[in-house]
Chains A and B, each alone.
Chain A
Amino acid sequence: MSSKSQAALEFLTTYSWALVTIMIAIGALYYFGVFDFTRFMPQECLFPSQFECADFAFVGAPTNEIRFRLVNDIGETVNVKSFSITNRDVSPLICPDPVEVNCGGVSEPPSFDWDPGMDCDFTFTGCSGATFQKKLRTEADISMTYCAIATLGCPGTSNVDHIVKGKIITVVN
């Protein structure tokens, strides 16, 4: 019994440096985010090809922004009437401030005419929600209401309105 415990103790003392090295290495890898598997999950911006999503980012505190760039590929000038943003969390995503729109370097009001081929940047600020936290993966369901300028009744009435639904899934930076 005594020789067995001596052998076990000798084993531990001989190889403890190796165990410590491995533990430090694992700790370092964890610190640098190697085991952060959310990086390997798809980060995507799903909009129909008529409003192609060219870029997107979720920015955490202090600004708490959701930014994305859409291109008007529908082939018509459209009047964008409104946006809404939410998700399916228990405490859903809310962005209370009006959307900021910038098309080709020109700032536009939330309701504006969007020429074909033009790309516009949309920024929602002051966003909050259960999963809208730095380093967390979250999603945003975005709806845009628009009508085609050349269609009779646009933008005055709502019966020629269309809704584009998109979804952005990414990590808040």
Chain B
Amino acid sequence: MAIKSQSAIEYLLIVALALGFIVPTAYIFFKYAAKSNDEIIDSQITQIGNTIIDTAETVFFSGEGAKILLELRVPKNIIDVDIKSSRELIFNVLSEAGERELVFFSPANIKILSDDASPECTLSGDCGLSGLADEGFKKIKVEAFFDVIDQKTKAMIMEVN
């Protein structure tokens, strides 16, 4: 009986020791993995945002009718994408630190819009681009057009199916 209880206690001690190593190690591993995941998504969105803005600039200077088709792989965790004041491309992203914004600016003289038909988009330049929020492969067309109301060339960003 005494030998049985001794072996049981030894077994429990070994299991407790193993768990004492495994649980904190797993916790630390997942914390590092989450941080690394945020950095990767941040980097992918930065690349996408800069690519779209650079393309808008290229078509703008190429003149009315110029268009470029971008093929982008959109990462997960993007909640929404929109354009504000015809110059700020905003990605709302879910991260370890909560919901955050990544903003990309077009040069002040280059107005960007999306194919959003709402009055806010045509009047104040606050346009939705929510199609870009879904994870996966996307085709984005960036086209220069002449806005007859403003009498200015602008760049239109739209998702192509």
State yes or no: do A and B come from one complex.
yes
- Which A residues lie at the B interface, using CB under 8 A? 37, 40-42, 44, 46-50, 74-76, 141, 148, 150-153, 159-160, 162-167
Q: Is the CB of A160 within 8 A of B97?
A: no
Q: Is the CB of B97 within 8 A of A75?
A: no
Q: Is the CB of A148 within 8 A of B97?
A: no
Q: Is the CB of A152 within 8 A of B96?
A: no
Q: List 18 A-B contacts (CB under 8 A).
A: A42-B31, A42-B35, A46-B35, A46-B96, A47-B97, A49-B42, A49-B46, A50-B46, A74-B105, A141-B98, A148-B105, A151-B84, A151-B85, A151-B87, A160-B85, A162-B101, A165-B98, A167-B98
Whole-angstrom distance between the Cβ of B125 and the nearest chain A Cβ: 9
Q: Is the CB of B28 within 8 A of A48?
A: no
Q: Is the CB of A160 within 8 A of B84?
A: yes
Starting from the known contacts A50-B103, A167-B98, 17 additional A-B residue pairs (CB-CB under 8 Å) come to: A40-B24, A41-B28, A42-B31, A46-B35, A46-B38, A47-B97, A48-B95, A76-B105, A148-B105, A150-B105, A151-B88, A160-B85, A162-B88, A162-B90, A163-B100, A163-B101, A164-B100
Q: Is the CB of B100 within 8 A of A49?
A: no
Total contacts A to B, CB within 8 angstroms? Answer: 67
Distance, CA A160 to CA B28, complexed state (A) = 39
Whole-angstrom distance between the Cβ of B74 and the nearest chain A Cβ: 17
Distance, CA A41 to CA B32, complexed state (A) = 10
Distance, CA A37 to CA B27, complexed state (A) = 12
Known contacts being A37-B24, A40-B28, A42-B28, is A74 close to B103, with CB within 8 Å? Answer: yes
Q: Which residues of A contact B38 (CB under 8 A)?
A: 46
Q: Is the CB of B43 within 8 A of A160?
A: no
Q: Is the CB of B32 within 8 A of A162?
A: no
Q: Which residues of B contact A75 (CB under 8 A)?
A: 105
Whole-angstrom distance between the Cβ of A53 and the nearest chain B Cβ: 11
0/1 string, B88-122, CB within 8 A of A gives 1: 10100001111111110100100000000000000
